[in-house]
Structure 1
């Protein structure tokens, strides 16, 4: 999700809810402790230089059960971040949230609440690493085409087991 998209959604919402990948909700007394500009420059395993620029939202919860972040307040924080950090509306959002460690998530919206979506690693240079395209997809095997396995198994009720 991009900054421009979240701002548009927030304009139409009365409350903000974030759902974790397991279906549980981030407690409603969460804070957005920071919005940052994250620049990543790297070389992939094929030797290609790459750059990523994202807007980072950090969600945090404390024992402040009376705190509720309202949509208009989050919009104002986003707009201040855009101004000071030079973020633009096309910046992709990455969300950090503390569980057993700091988790990083992509952000989606399901029409009701924001979804924290698991991120996955991948090889960006599979063609140069010699990784076959089908290895990045789950392989399906038909069990009916497997050769018969010869075993010395017991028949049920034979007393050999």
Structure 2
């Protein structure tokens, strides 16, 4: 999800809800404590220089159980952050949320809720460092007919 997509979704909502990848919801009293710009400049294991830029949100929950972040307030926070994020609304969004350690997630929207998505690590230069391509075996396709006993 990008900043532009988030800004488009917020006015359509009555409430802001975030759902974890396992389907559980963040407590309704969460806060957006930070909106930032993250620039990552790195070299992969094959020696290729790379850059990534993303908007970063930090979600946090406190003991103020009556707190609710309204869509209009979240949009206001995004507008305040424009001086940090700049004019590029195509920035992808990463979300930090405290669990056993700080979890880092992607963000999606299902039309009703914001969904924290799992992020994966990967070797970006597998051809340069000798990681073989993994070929999955082809499984036979089984056809089931009604009354055939296989379904």
Give the alignment's TM-score, normalised by structure 1.
0.82
Match of 2:137 among 123, 136, 140: 140
Q: Does 1:36 align with 2:36?
A: yes
Residue by residue over 1:8-59, the C-alpha shift from the partner in whole angstroms, topping out at 9 and shown as x without a partner, is 0001111000000111000000000010111110000010000111100000
Structure 2: distance between partners of 1:84 and 1:123: 30
Instruction: Name the SS for the 2:127 alignment partner.
Output: helix
Q: Is the 8 A contact 1:33 1:60 kept in 2?
A: yes
- 2:18 aligns with 18
- 1:119 aligns with 119
1:83 Cα offset (Å): 2.3
Q: Is the 8 A contact 1:81 1:87 kept in 2?
A: no
Instruction: Name the SS for the 2:81 alignment partner.
Output: helix
What does 1:10-159 correspond to in 2, within 5 Å? 10-86=10-86, 88-133=88-133, 135=134, 139-140=136-137
Q: Which runs of 4+ in 1 moved over 6 A?
A: none
Change beyond 3 A, Cα 1:87–1:56: farther
The two structures, once aligned, show a CA RMSD in angstroms of 1.6
Structure 2: distance between partners of 1:77 and 1:57: 11
Unaligned 5+ residue runs, structure 1? Answer: 143-161
- 1:156 aligns with none
Larger radius of gyration: 1
Unaligned 5+ residue runs, structure 2? Answer: 140-151
Residue by residue over 1:111-147, the C-alpha shift from the partner in whole angstroms, topping out at 9 and shown as x without a partner, is 11010011000011112223233x2x6x3376xxxxx
How many pairs were matched up? 140
Q: Is the 8 A contact 2:37 2:84 kept in 1?
A: no
Structure 2: distance between partners of 1:87 and 1:55: 12
Structure 1: distance between partners of 2:96 and 2:51: 20
Structure 2: distance between partners of 1:70 and 1:33: 14
